[in-house]
Amino acid sequence: MIASLRGILRFVSTDHVIIETGGVGLLVYAPRPVLERLGSVGEEVFLHTLLIVREDALTLYGFATTEQRALFEKLLSVAGVGSRVALNVLSAATPDELRLAVAHKDTARLARIPGIGKKTAERLVLELRGKLDLTGLPAAVTDAPLPVVTANNELADLLISLGYSSAEAQAALAALPADAPLDIEERLRLALRYFGSA
């Protein structure tokens, strides 16, 4: 197995890069957040990798961390989830966000990821619950009653639609007071205050 790759970044596309090492250019598929943070063409880069061997192809996938790579492998173990869908999941959610969605059986959030319908979202929750470490999640979120979780998911989507990153949205959610009202407009006002916008 090719476990990691270090080389010169030669090309960046929307779903893959070409990294030159030892005079050979390797095409590596990767989640969007990895591609966005990889660096500029001509720079030396490093990725943790996974080589998938099929009858008709050898395909290399790249990740920022070994945790991300392990999560990709767990996603592939779910019935109906192929490498393209697994990449979409890792492009749309951080490992912690995915763990939260699985912990709270939030199939609605998962079903919004491209390539995942309601049935696949239900399979992800069912099959990943026993495979993911669901400990160590933020207590304020994991211990929250379902209406709060639903409100937080709606608020996170709203913040992302306003241009904030997923990580920024999660930070704003974590900063909400425990007694914040469920009203989405009020929660948005409090979240924007976190960013200094209100």
- In sequence order, what are the beta bridge partners of 53? 58
Per-residue DSSP letter, 14: S
Domain boundaries, the chain: 4-63, 66-128, 139-194
Distance, CA of 54 to CA of 33 (rounded, Å): 26
51 contact partners, CB below 8 Å, separation of at least 6: 1, 2, 58, 59, 60, 61
**Secondary-structure class of domain 4-63 per CATH:** mainly beta
Distance, CA of 116 to CA of 109 (rounded, Å): 10
CATH number of 66-128: 1.10.150.20
Integer angstrom CA distances of residue 37 from 9, 69, 91: 12, 16, 12
- In sequence order, what are the beta bridge partners of 5? 47
State the pLDDT confidence band at 142, using cuts at 50, 70 and 90: very low
Per-residue pLDDT tens over the stretch 70-86:
999 999 999 889 999 99
Look at 17 and 178; give whichever has higher pLDDT: 17
Structure tokens that stand for 118 in this block: 């309601």
Distance, CA of 196 to CA of 182 (rounded, Å): 21
Per-residue pLDDT tens over the stretch 164-195:
887 788 788 878 887 788 888 888 888 888 88
- In sequence order, what are the beta bridge partners of 58? 53
> If phi over 0 gives left and psi between -120 and 50 gives alpha, with beta otherwise, what is residue 134?
alpha
**Mean pLDDT to the nearest integer, 48-70:** 94
The pTM for the full model equals: 0.69
